[in-house]
């Protein structure tokens, strides 16, 4: 895609118009450097000392902004949070120990006892498990709707509804939500919209700009990008983020300083990596869709995807996750997965290394076949998380493995 942005006529630097790669490298850092070090250091500390009792009083009274204790703040965290807020176009951001922690803390902080939540069916299994096992203990009721069906969303909203929560794209079928329409329907009735944008990244879709009230990420995935950390994040308006920051300070799901530094380093190449993920994803999805041993492909960049029109209008790119079903049985699908030489077999996504999994044997192994099929998880379903390897090598590997399916 050609970048047609031009510098202002007066020669000044318009930082608000910077592209994703410039923001990935410099966002949240350049104007906040405390020393001459080019990179933000790892502040490996659990506590911060005060020089005097007067300084303690100034801090407690709000006259002095500084850190007190490691569960409440860390300069390395803040550099990451500023960068994420810049990338997503939010007022502020807060980090968590994992993406799952970001989701559960958001639910606990934003859903009062006896309230109602609307979620989509095609979302992360552990999120649904938390809703079923823990939110019900708080008297929170939940309505599950099909993804991308705004009429069902409108019908599901009650007077006590507080949140509409969904991934976009979803996992594993990559359904794409019309966030602007969902926000219009929800806001008209006082309901907030929370989008898990892990599969999109802020490069491919900025959900806040389409009206979402909060965006969360498993930063373990595309944001970190190297399969070497666990982290989560939430980005949005300052009042909502402040409430979440207070909640994580109480609940304790805080991020280690070293993991925050790894995330900061990973974010610097986010724009570059996403361009390659997008290119690889589209080309491989097209190749798989044309292969006689592939029954169906789910990828938002393909015209055959049910949400292609929404995705094409709303997203800059479609990511590196391709879900497909083989014209094979359980054993044949396992032969295909085992024959692949480049992707590792693993349950994550968004890293530089390609990963592949059969959801039937990975995320859904502990439930019955009938339960899996009711969720759309068939014996021949494959989720391929494409990395940044050379496209031609990945395609050749897929071809040889498909010959063995």
Q: Which long-range contacts (CB under 8 A, 24 or more apart) does 48-53 make?
A: none
Each residue of 3-18: pLDDT tens digit? 555 444 444 445 667 8
Contact criterion met (CB below 8 Å) for 24 and 267: yes
Each residue of 107-163: pLDDT tens digit? 999 999 999 999 999 888 899 899 999 999 999 999 999 998 899 999 999 999 999
Q: Looking at residues 223-237, what average pLDDT do you find?
A: 98
Amino acid 14: pLDDT: 54
Q: Round the average pLDDT of the chain to a whole number and report it.
A: 93
Q: Scanning the structure block, which residue is given the tokens 């705004």?
A: 150
Global pTM? 0.91
372 pLDDT band (50/70/90 cuts)? Answer: confident
Q: Looking at residues 170-193, what average pLDDT do you find?
A: 97
377 or 224: which leads in pLDDT: 224
pLDDT at residue 281 above 70? yes
Q: What percent of the chain has pLDDT over 70?
A: 95
Q: Looking at residues 51-75, what average pLDDT do you find?
A: 94
The residues assigned a catalytic role are 71, 124, 196, 221
Q: What percent of the chain has pLDDT over 90?
A: 82
pLDDT at residue 210 above 50? yes
């Amino acid at each position: 895609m050609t970048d047609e942005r031009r510098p202002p006529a007066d020669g000044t630097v318009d930082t608000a118009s910077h592209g994703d790669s410039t923001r990935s490298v410099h966002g949240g850092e350049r104007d906040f450097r405390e020393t001459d070090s080019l990179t933000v250091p790892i502040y490996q500390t659990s506590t911060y000392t005060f020089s005097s009792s007067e300084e303690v009083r100034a801090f407690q009274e709000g006259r002095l902004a500084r850190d007190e204790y490691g569960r409440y703040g860390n300069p390395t965290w803040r550099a990451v949070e500023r960068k994420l807020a810049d990338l997503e176009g939010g007022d502020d951001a807060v980090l968590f120990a994992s993406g799952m922690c970001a989701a559960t803390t958001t639910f606990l902080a934003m859903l009062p006892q006896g309230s109602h939540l609307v979620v989509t069916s095609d979302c992360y299994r552990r999120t649904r498990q938390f809703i079923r096992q823990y939110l019900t203990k708080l008297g929170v009721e939940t309505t599950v709707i099909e993804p991308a069906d705004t009429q069902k969303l409108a019908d599901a909203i009650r007077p006590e509804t507080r949140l509409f929560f969904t991934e976009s794209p979803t996992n594993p079928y990559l359904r794409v939500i019309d966030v602007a329409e969902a926000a219009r329907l929800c806001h008209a009735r006082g309901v907030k919209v929370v989008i898990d944008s892990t599969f999109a990244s802020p490069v491919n879709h900025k959900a806040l700009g389409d009206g979402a009230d909060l965006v969360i990420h498993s930063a373990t995935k595309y944001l970190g990008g190297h399969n070497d950390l666990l982290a989560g994040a939430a980005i949005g308006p300052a009042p909502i983020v402040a409430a979440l920051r207070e909640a994580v300070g109480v609940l304790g799901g805080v991020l280690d300083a070293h993991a925050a530094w790894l995330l900061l380093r990973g974010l610097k190449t986010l724009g570059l990596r996403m361009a390659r993920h997008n290119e690889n994803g589209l080309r491989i999805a097209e190749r798989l869709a044309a292969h006689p041993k592939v029954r169906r492909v789910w990828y938002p960049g393909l015209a055959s995807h049910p949400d292609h029109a929404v995705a094409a209008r709303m997203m800059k790119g479609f990511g590196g996750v391709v879900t497909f079903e083989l014209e094979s049985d359980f054993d044949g699908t396992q032969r295909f997965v085992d024959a692949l030489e480049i992707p590792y077999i693993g349950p994550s996504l968004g890293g530089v290394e390609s990963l592949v999994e059969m959801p039937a044997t990975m995320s859904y192994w502990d439930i019955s076949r009938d339960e899996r099929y009711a969720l759309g998880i068939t014996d021949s379903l494959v989720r391929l998380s494409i990395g940044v390897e050379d496209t031609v090598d990945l395609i050749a590997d897929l071809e040889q493995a498909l010959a063995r399916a």
